[in-house]
Amino acid sequence: MNLLRDAATVGGMTMVSRVLGFARDALIASILGTGPAADAFVVAFRFPNLFRRFFAEGAFNSAFVPLYAKRLEGEGRQNAHVFASEAFSGLISVLLIFTLIALLAMPWIMVGMAGGFLLVEGESFELGLILSRLGNPDGREKYDLAVDFTRIALPYLLFVSLVALLSGILNSLGRFFLSAAAPILLNIILVAVLVFIAPYTAEPGRALVWGVFVGGAVQFAALAWGCMRIGVMPSLRMPRLTPNMKRLIVLGVPGIIAAGITQINLVIGTFIASFEQSAVAILFYADRLYQLPLGLVGVAMGVVLLPDLSRRLRAGDEASAITSQNRAIEISLLLTLPAAFALIVIPVPVISALFEHGEFTSSDTHNTAAALAVFACGLPAFVLIKVFSPGFFAREDTRTPMIFAAINAFVNITLSVVLFFRIGLVGIAIGTSTAAWVNTILLASRLWQLGHFVPDRRVRSRLPRILLASIAMAAVLWALTGELQSLLDGTKWQRIGALGVLVTIGGFVFAVFVQLAGGARISELIDALRGDKTQSS
């Protein structure tokens, strides 16, 4: 397993998915803007994704993959298949029960998700007022829309949770392509809905939510086909509490809680933002942009690193595992730091070029850009969390990340609440980014204390050089923005062209500076992508 090559496979598919995602979000911005339907759709789309991370990514990335890899290495595919089938059946049963309960209780759940939807503009937060509106159909159109949309989107949770499990199986076998490509299918479907259906219906938001439902089903079908093709599709059986499942639960519950706490941050942010007009949609658009480098680098590296570390540790090669984590940090920051500095320096041109047309106004651009710049300050931390967490999960320690995630949530919620009512929606972004850095420092410090993370000479030498090259690139972008200001203030296509110039020149400048500073060697990257081993020095 080659870390950079496999991460490039995952990152490449993620890039295609995110490009389609940008097309999707630009169409959403144009058709729905930041109005009530946009707010309702964001909540509806966020709810199943929130619980997907509870049931799937939390449990199975932290617990299932190491246990499945352990059985593959020590007991063979047959025993691994039995274990996967038990987990598959158990997950389906839990999700079906949860989905039914959530469908029935959605009006009350929505109060916790976006209680501000029950208030009209200018009304202050009062719990009694919010609860009184539940029994009064007048003045709660956006709330009712959000409840309706979320019920339609809810089965998406079942499909994508099972996709996460099947992805864990394929990733443990070193097959990353199909699981990384699955989200592309969702975005293709949503773009098709936005182009061919939404403009011709009275409720484009509703059509979009039905697209989410269909997209989940198609993703599951694709992953099931991939598993069946190589004979590893789990079979459905009566759920039983076997020793394998007990161990999965012991490891998975802290993982679920850790992932859940992280997602509670999003819920709290959504709830707070619902008290400011259009804030939910604005934060969504900013979130989507900083999620691009996070998905390309952080998520991709985390997906590849966990089975890689699990395999090395099962072989008793602790030194090799530490070296692998050092290379993951180096590669991740090589790709993340320049992206973070670029988003901090030119957030307005980015938002303007991608989203400012149709119902998305110049005022929306500046509000979204302010949130994006703050999120970008936390981008390296978001990525490093994805790199450091597998160091615990691969050693079957899901408790420590859970504790640190709880601290993260406390910091995030406290800052978000305090700052939102002082400076507005940017306060939520400040809380999120600050909490991410706290979490990163805690994870790295604990790994260091345990001797599971020791920065080698190469990473200590190269990271400062990468930082300097990123700062130099940011300075060039800042100067170049002034030269292109007339185009950046021009028509839609002039803005897009100017952004293309900024991105191209920024990338070239960073590549030159980082090579001259010794922060990276192009020859090493090429060798790694070809499959040659990258040696540490």
Residue spans per domain, the chain: 36-276
Q: Which residues contact 434 (CB under 8 A, 6 or more apart)?
A: 378, 411, 412, 415
Q: What is the pLDDT of residue 502?
A: 92
Quick one: tokens of 335? 């790709």
Q: Token match 């929306």: residue?
A: 364
Residue 463 burial (10 A CB sphere; 0-12, 13-18, 19+): middle
CB contact at 8 A, 321 and 309: yes
> Hey, CA dihedral for 33, 34, 39, 40, is it positive or negative?
negative
Q: Which pTM value belongs to this model?
A: 0.71
Q: What is the pLDDT of residue 510?
A: 92
Q: For residue 291, how far is the Cα from the chain centroid? A: 6
Q: What is the pLDDT of residue 537?
A: 38
- A 10 A CB-CB count for 75 gives 12
**What percent helix, strand, coil does the chain show, rounded to 5?**
85, 0, 15
DSSP per-residue letters across 40-95: HHHHHHHHHHHHHIIIIIHHIIIIIHHHHHHHHHHT-HHHHHHHHHHHHHHHHHHH
96-242-164-378 Cα dihedral, nearest 10 degrees:
110
Q: What is the pLDDT of residue 251?
A: 77
Would you give the DSSP letter of residue 533?
Answer: P
Q: What is the pLDDT of residue 361?
A: 78
Residues in the chain: 537
Q: What is the pLDDT of residue 138?
A: 55
Q: What is the pLDDT of residue 534?
A: 40
CB contact at 8 A, 452 and 391: yes
Q: Which residues contact 217 (CB under 8 A, 6 or more apart)?
A: 159
Q: Which residues contact 190 (CB under 8 A, 6 or more apart)?
A: 24, 208, 211, 212, 215
Q: Which residues contact 520 (CB under 8 A, 6 or more apart)?
A: 334, 462, 466, 514
Quick one: tokens of 536? 């540490």
Quick one: tokens of 240? 């039983």
User: What is the rounded distance in angstroms from the CA atom of residue 151 to the CA atom of residue 210?
Assistant: 10
For 267-279, the three-class secondary structure string (H helix, E strand, C coil) is HHHHHHHCCCCCH
Q: Token match 């004979």: residue?
A: 231
Q: Which residues contact 209 (CB under 8 A, 6 or more apart)?
A: 41, 44, 45, 149, 152, 153
User: What is the rounded distance in angstroms from the CA atom of residue 3 to the CA atom of residue 304?
Assistant: 7
Q: Which residues contact 241 (CB under 8 A, 6 or more apart)?
A: none
Which residues of the chain carry a pLDDT beneath 50?
Answer: 1, 122-123, 533-537
CB contact at 8 A, 496 and 353: yes
Residue 127 burial (10 A CB sphere; 0-12, 13-18, 19+): exposed
Q: What is the pLDDT of residue 252?
A: 75
- A 10 A CB-CB count for 516 gives 11
Quick one: tokens of 56? 């799937």
